[in-house]
Amino acid sequence: MSDAAARLADLRNAIARAAKAASRDPEGVQLIAVSKGRSAEAIEALIEAGQRDFGENRVQEVAAKWPELRRRHPDVRLHMIGSLQSNKAEEAAGLFDVIHSLDRASLLQAMVKAEWHGPTYVQVNIGDEAQKGGIAIAELPTFLDKVRDAGINLAGLMAIPPSEVEASPYFALLAKLARRHDVTGLSMGMSSDFTSAVMLGATTVRVGSALFEETG
């Protein structure tokens, strides 16, 4: 087994254990391999090991790195997980399959104009941090109405909890908001905290370093 295949197998096992601990079906958790900053070779090793969903956070990087990988592996799916400028919405619509970072009205307008119909997550500023993207919790109900009215394919909510503190209360809060607003998908959990995210209901985890880096 290649190193990439071994790391992928370990990660899938860890996700399955966390799901079972919470009496959830492991099949209900999608794994996105976050490949920002990683080489085409490193990505290809994971594709060969069976991984199909990849996350990136910069339109330019994807435009440069992915066309050739896509040609060779037409069944991969690309997820936009970074903040998206409205003037890049049209380009993003042509490059990505799923967007996890719809976080403001101007971007919503730009996505509608770009005739974007892919699954879309609304990003919530779950820790109320000035420097982070995401809709403020207080504005979420109104924003979700706008998203639904615009005919966007609303897949769920996404959040990045504050760093350096225990993430689980934020995961629990995002899950509560999703239930309250009748949204099914929960994009939450990264290398350091995906286990608790899965136990608290994540349907999609976004894992980068644990998949791409040697651990020992």
Ligand X SMILES: *Cc1c(COP(=O)(O)O)cnc(C)c1O
Q: Which of 4, 31, 33, 34 binds ligand X (CB under 6 A)?
A: 34
Minimum distance from residue 23 beta carbon to ligand X (Å)? 25
**Which of residues 140, 177, 190, 197 is near ligand X by CB under 6 A?**
190
3-state secondary structure at position 104: coil
Residue 209 binds to ligand X (criterion: CB under 6 A): yes
120 - beta bridge partners?
Answer: 99, 154
Cα–Cα–Cα angle for 157, 73, 3, nearest 5°? 80
- Interaction mask 49-88, ligand X, x per CB under 6 A: --------x-----------------------xx------
Nearer to ligand X, 148 or 175 (CB): 175
Beta carbons within 10 angstroms of residue 168's beta carbon: 15
- Size, binding site for ligand X by CB under 6 A: 14
Distance between CA atoms of residues 65 and 120, nearest Å: 23
Q: Residue 188 CB, nearest distance to ligand X (Å)?
A: 9
Q: E strands along the chain, which residues? A: 30-34, 53-56, 77-80, 98-102, 120-123, 154-158, 185-187, 204-207
Under rule CB under 6 A, residue 93 binds ligand X: no
| Residue of 212, 128, 116 whose CA lies nearest to 173 | 128
Residues with Cβ < 8 Å from 1, sequence gap 6 or more?
9
Which window, 8-16, 70-78, 111-119, 189-197, contacts ligand X (CB under 6 A)? 189-197
Task: Tell the smallest beta-carbon distance from residue 14 to ligand X (Å).
Answer: 13
Q: Which stretch binds ligand X (CB under 6 A): 1-9, 14-22, 165-173, 188-196?
A: 188-196
- Considering beta carbons, is residue 113 or 168 the nearer one to ligand X? 168
**Which residue's structure tokens are 């040609």?**
71
The CA distance from 28 to 30, in Å, is: 7
Beta carbon nearer to ligand X, 68 or 213: 213
The contact set with ligand X (CB under 6 A) reads: 34, 36, 57, 81-82, 160, 190-192, 206-210
